[in-house]
Amino acid sequence: MSAAVPRPYTGRFAPSPTGPLHFGSLVAAVASYADARSRAGRWLLRIEDLDPPREQPGAAASFPRVLERYGFAWDGPLLHQSTRNAAYRAALEQLRGEEKVFPCACSRAQLEKAPMGAASERVYPGTCRAGLPPGRAARSWRMRVDAVTVAFIDRVQGPQHQDLLRDVGDFVVRRADGLWAYQLAVVVDDRDQGVTDVVRGADLLSSTPRQIFLQRQLGAPLPRYAHVPVAVNTAGEKLSKQTRAAPLPMDDPQAVLRAAWRFLGQEEPMEDFTTPAEFWAWAIPRWDMRRVQCGTAWRAEPGVALGL
């Protein structure tokens, strides 16, 4: 086997347009951007618009505008997952050809009876693994999971492992409603965009073993992972559209960038910044992933969580 050619650092920020960007989104964006730029790496912006029924009108269009206001500069054009059908289909065909996926006829009601696993999701009971029950039609496609423990070292959270079959089971790659599953899309896009470093919120930590399993099955290179703590509000809930997190304000981005920087445990700036560009010029050379505290959730400063 020839030695692998090192791939240039490529990071990405991949928000879903289910609502406006909020402080929690900014934390993930700041961490991935600072990590990429401090290593002279590329940084990509990908809009994860896989699920039209969950999309909020106007959200996707607002992302580049808001990120520009916060001084982020991405490389190359935006990638919309809604344009990537052919790539996802090709990946599914490859997996089908190798019998690594199987059709599943189970209904939601049937699956809701399955026990919960350690990843806080229902574990697929294997019903259609050996073939569809007589007279039943395929609804979704599932990845056939081996009895393996997937292990990786997260740059923030340390060594991780998951017994995929026991904790998750055969997982969906194409949903019963015909939409592509996040797990498949993210792996195909990270592969095709040459992503070497995934820096994102720790709410996705339990998805990573599924993604690593898929990368291996597709023969895709494995990126490094860093999962930064997610911001929670005073009730301990992750900031999100559901918890009515305030959209990022457009009037004083430096102040919010500073709060995200502090949330990430980074060196406290002594100076004031009058523009995001000034903040980034100061921040990028000082970024230190080792300062990000290990832990999956931290409370955001109240003013930030509830809207400035």
- Residues binding ligand GLU (CB under 6 A): 14-16, 48, 186, 200, 204
What b-and-e string marks burial along 43-63, b requiring 16 or more CB atoms within 10 Å of the CB?
A: bbbbbbbbbeeebeeebbebb
Which residues make Cβ contacts (< 8 Å) with residue 86, sequence separation at least 6?
A: none
Q: Minimum Å distance from CB 130 to ligand GLU? A: 32
The nearer residue to ligand GLU, 51 or 170, going by C-beta atoms, is 51
Q: Minimum Å distance from CB 32 to ligand GLU? A: 8
- Sign for the CA dihedral angle at 22, 25, 27, 29 comes to negative
Of 149, 150, 218, the C-alpha closest to 187 is 218
The nearer residue to ligand GLU, 204 or 255, going by C-beta atoms, is 204
The nearer residue to ligand GLU, 46 or 174, going by C-beta atoms, is 46
The nearer residue to ligand GLU, 47 or 128, going by C-beta atoms, is 47
The nearer residue to ligand GLU, 202 or 283, going by C-beta atoms, is 202
The nearer residue to ligand GLU, 28 or 92, going by C-beta atoms, is 28
Q: Minimum Å distance from CB 80 to ligand GLU? A: 12
The nearer residue to ligand GLU, 60 or 186, going by C-beta atoms, is 186
Q: Minimum Å distance from CB 18 to ligand GLU? A: 8
Region of residue 40 (left: phi > 0; alpha: psi -120 to 50; beta: else): left
Q: Minimum Å distance from CB 15 to ligand GLU? A: 5
The nearer residue to ligand GLU, 15 or 276, going by C-beta atoms, is 15
Q: Minimum Å distance from CB 157 to ligand GLU? A: 15
Q: Minimum Å distance from CB 48 to ligand GLU? A: 4
Quote the Cα angle for 44-45-51, to 5°. 135
Q: Minimum Å distance from CB 19 to ligand GLU? A: 10
